[in-house]
Amino acid sequence: MLLSVHSRIPEIYAYCHSAYGQPSVLFHGPYTVSSEEGPQKGDPVGPLLFCNTIQPLLSSLDSDLNLGYLVATSATTVSTGPPRDTCPLVAHAVDTVVADVAQIAKVGGDMGLRLNASKCELIAHQNLSVTDELHESFTRVDVGSASLLDAPLFHGSELDKSWSGCCDDPTRAAKRLCDIGCQDALILLRSSFSARKVLHLLRCAPSVSHAALQTFGSLLRDCVQCISY
């Protein structure tokens, strides 16, 4: 990690070396733990140090879509360990994705990052045949059930499930908002149960003309009528 800082962003190397040049001593009751791997949890510069370290690896991959992001929780989605990160890989050729995953496992292993196959997903049609042993250990996800950052990627059961969940809250709220003051109810409706509730789905998922849009609009109208009367 420090070598990557020295070679790519030397302007902050002195600061990072002062923080990570020596192991941190952690105390837990009568025990002491020498922290010698990765950035410290809660360090504001930690995500930068991690991303800077793995950026050359990501840049070396050949998949058509290749991006990485840090997440609190998972095309092939590859999870490489703490701090929790995800790297979706999408390519027209299966062999390209297979080769990239092997590259992540090898180069990442040299960095001290272990590929966590139990958190990896293989998103593909049911008729796609995969013979690679590592990919066979990934969780198989059908295209219609695929999501990324809580946004369904395609039309199917996952998109229907997400919109159904969005409609559940206004359904419950319509009965309860009538029990509080009109002003408070209107603020709650506007801030927590209206358009803001579905902006992520509208922006990131293929929701155009979805049947739940009309249902959601009707529920909001019912909530406004309940508050107004």
Domain-wise residue ranges, the chain: 2-141, 151-228
- pLDDT mean across residues, the chain: 82
**pLDDT for residue 16:** 92
Q: Which residue has the higher pLDDT, 86 or 182?
A: 182
Residue 122, strand partner residues: 76, 140
pLDDT band at 86 (very low <50, low <70, confident <90, very high): low
The mean pLDDT of 4-19, rounded to a whole number, is: 93
**pLDDT for residue 5:** 94
**pLDDT for residue 17:** 93
- Is the per-residue pLDDT at 77 higher than 50? no
Q: Residue 21: left (phi > 0), alpha (psi -120 to 50), or beta?
A: alpha
Q: Which residue has the higher pLDDT, 55 or 182?
A: 55
CA distance 78 to 80: 6
The mean pLDDT of 101-129, rounded to a whole number, is: 86
Say how many residues make up the chain.
229
Percent of the chain at pLDDT exceeding 90: 10
- Is the per-residue pLDDT at 100 higher than 80? yes
In which residue are the tokens 């050729």 written? 93
| DSSP element (H, E) containing 94 | helix 94-111
**pLDDT for residue 31:** 93
| DSSP element (H, E) containing 122 | strand 121-123
- Is the per-residue pLDDT at 75 higher than 50? no
Burial of 196 (0-12, 13-18, 19+ CB in 10 A): exposed
**pLDDT for residue 79:** 45
The mean pLDDT of 133-144, rounded to a whole number, is: 85
